[in-house]
């Protein structure tokens, strides 16, 4: 029998909620600390790849996720002259029926929070901004802004994101961020519905549309719209008339006119920043970092939430198999380290092809890499990278790919149910 531990989880995002759920199911006493008065999702849409879906399926949550999400069969990118320079179908994986999922962050958060709230052994503490910790022989205490320190915990899990207080190294903030908005999808919109579609002007401008399903209580399905923007240009954008900015977007992608018409106020758009960093010491005494607190990158490959889910699963498996706490944490990071390193390298290499001021790199992307990606073996490698399965991360964690046939049936059933209610 595993000895129950008192565990503190910092952060109520996908990494923190998934870890709390898994650890409480093992019999541990888990306390989640979040800085917000009412913990909630930050951002708009995200991609759940086959790697992350494997974790959600093992948690028994894949069906509920699919009821709130949109099936994505491929990524398509077209440069400003109309040439397709990114064609990445999940079919190239060679896995019958494989697909990705577009989902609103609120939907993913809602499913995980509902499961965590119903799970015995989890206590959520809102309005607790963690600023540090103190390690003592009998445990580690958390230090809060404006509050007394916590009681001792056997283990602290840092799932607080790339802005973590526990890594003093430079954050590696990337020059390009993105404007995001969640917008209603209406009949007649010129979007495929099962594609993540992007348009590029070299690498300095990128617009994208991702179907993200239907949030609980929403009137209908939505899409996430995003527009790349350098952080240093954001103050200028904030002073630019909204119609002038829309005209700039439409010069790249005229078909967005109807979608942009649903943006009536600048407050509908949120500017997101990204960082490329890896914590040099994700494990210290009685403490482990997971998700973006350990490793973060640009969203170009759509791996953030998926890597976090894999980290949470690895932590739970390490606690189950290790003999001492030190060995448990060592196992948890050792099973993930190679996959994390691999995607950090690949994302660093790929991001400038799509988000940079370079003229040479997008030309290389369009004239060399795009034609190569249409042929074996590059086509399969591209699909592996996109799916989060490059480097074979599931085997060491004891995870298996989801039953896509059953999941496809549940998607069809959910769509039919939605049509009947409408």
DSSP 8-state assignment for residue 165: T
Q: Based on the number of CB atoms within 10 Å of its own CB, is 325 exposed (0-12), middle (13-18) or buried (19 or more)?
A: middle
Q: How many CB atoms lie within 10 A of CB 395?
A: 9
Q: HSE on the CB side for 59, CA within 13 Å? A: 33
Here the tokens at position 138 are 């009998």
310 with 336: CB under 8 angstroms? Answer: yes
State how far the Cα of 23 lies from the Cα of 51, in Å rounded to an integer: 20
One DSSP character per residue, 73-134 reads -EEEEEETTS-EEEEEEGGGG--TT--EEEEEHHHHHHHHHHHHHHSTTEEEE-S--EEEEE
Q: Is 173 exposed, middle or buried (0-12, 13-18, 19+ CB in 10 A)?
A: middle
- Separation of first and last alpha carbons in the chain: 50
HEC profile for 127-152? CCCEEEEEEECCEEEEEECCCCCCCC
**Which 3 state secondary structure label does DSSP give 379?**
helix
Query: What is the Cα–Cα distance from 207 to 212, expressed in whole angstroms?
Result: 16
Residue by residue, pLDDT tens for the chain (422 residues) are: 579 999 999 999 999 999 999 999 999 999 999 998 776 666 789 999 999 999 999 999 999 999 999 999 999 999 999 999 999 999 999 999 999 999 999 999 999 999 999 999 999 999 999 999 999 999 999 999 999 999 999 999 999 999 999 998 889 999 999 999 999 999 999 998 999 999 999 999 999 999 999 998 888 999 999 999 999 999 999 999 999 999 999 999 999 999 999 999 999 999 999 999 999 999 999 999 999 999 999 999 999 999 999 999 999 999 999 999 999 999 999 999 999 999 999 999 999 999 999 999 999 999 999 999 999 999 999 999 999 999 999 999 999 999 998 888 877 665 555 554 44
d(C-alpha 342, C-alpha 389), whole Å: 11
Residues 6+ apart with CB under 8 A from 140: 8, 133, 134, 152, 153, 155, 156, 285, 286, 287
CA dist 365 and 85 (Å) reads 7
* Cis ω before 382 (30° cut-off from 0): no
DSSP state of 365: I
Task: Flag whether the pTM goes above 0.85.
Answer: yes
| Residue tagged 């006493």 (tokens) | 29
Q: What is the dihedral of CA 255, 256, 262, 266, to 10 degrees?
A: -160
Distances in whole angstroms, Cα of residue 393 to Cα of each of 58, 400, 401: 15, 10, 11
Contact between residue 28 and residue 3 where contact means Cβ atoms under 8 Å apart: no
Closest by Cα among 129, 167, 114 to 289: 167
């Amino acid at each position: 029998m595993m000895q129950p531990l008192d565990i503190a989880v910092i952060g109520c995002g996908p990494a923190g909620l998934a870890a709390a759920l898994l650890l409480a199911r093992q019999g541990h006493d888990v306390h989640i600390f979040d800085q917000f008065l009412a913990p909630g999702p930050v951002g708009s849409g995200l991609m759940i790849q086959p790697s992350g879906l494997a974790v959600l399926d093992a948690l028994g949550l894949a069906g509920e996720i699919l009821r709130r999400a949109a099936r994505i069969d491929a990524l398509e990118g077209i440069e400003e002259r109309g040439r397709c320079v990114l064609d990445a179908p999940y079919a190239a994986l060679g896995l019958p029926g494989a697909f990705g999922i577009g989902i609103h962050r609120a939907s993913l958060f809602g499913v995980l929070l509902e499961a965590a709230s119903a799970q015995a052994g989890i206590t959520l503490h809102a309005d607790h901004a963690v600023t540090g910790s103190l390690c003592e022989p009998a445990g580690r205490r958390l230090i809060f802004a404006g509050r007394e320190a916590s009681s001792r915990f056997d283990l602290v899990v840092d799932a607080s994101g790339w802005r973590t207080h526990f890594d003093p190294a430079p954050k590696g903030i990337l020059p390009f961020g993105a404007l995001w908005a969640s917008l209603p999808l209406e009949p007649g919109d010129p979007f495929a519905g099962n594609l993540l579609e992007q348009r590029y002007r070299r690498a300095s401008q990128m617009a994208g549309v991702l179907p993200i399903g239907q949030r609980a209580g929403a009137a209908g399905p939505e899409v996430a719209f995003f527009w790349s923007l350098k952080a240093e240009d954001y103050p200028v954008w904030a002073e630019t008339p909204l119609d002038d900015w829309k005209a700039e977007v439409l010069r790249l992608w005229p078909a967005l006119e109807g979608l942009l018409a649903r943006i009536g106020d600048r407050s509908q758009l949120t500017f997101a920043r990204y960082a490329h960093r890896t914590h040099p010491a994700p494990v210290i005494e009685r403490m482990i970092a997971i998700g973006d607190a350990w490793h973060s990158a640009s969203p170009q490959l759509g791996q953030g939430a998926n890597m976090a889910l894999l980290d949470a699963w690895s932590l739970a498996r390490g606690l189950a198999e290790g003999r001492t706490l030190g060995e448990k944490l060592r196992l948890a990071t050792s099973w993930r380290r190679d996959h994390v390193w691999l995607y950090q390298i690949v994302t660093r290499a790929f991001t400038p092809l799509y988000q940079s001021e370079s003229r040479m790199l997008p030309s290389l992307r369009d004239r060399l890499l795009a034609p190569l990606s249409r042929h074996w073996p590059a086509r399969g490698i591209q699909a592996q990278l996109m799916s989060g399965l490059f480097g074979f991360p599931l085997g060491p964690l004891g995870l298996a790919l989801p039953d896509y046939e059953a999941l496809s049936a549940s998607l069809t059933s959910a769509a039919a149910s939605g049509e009947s209610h409408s």
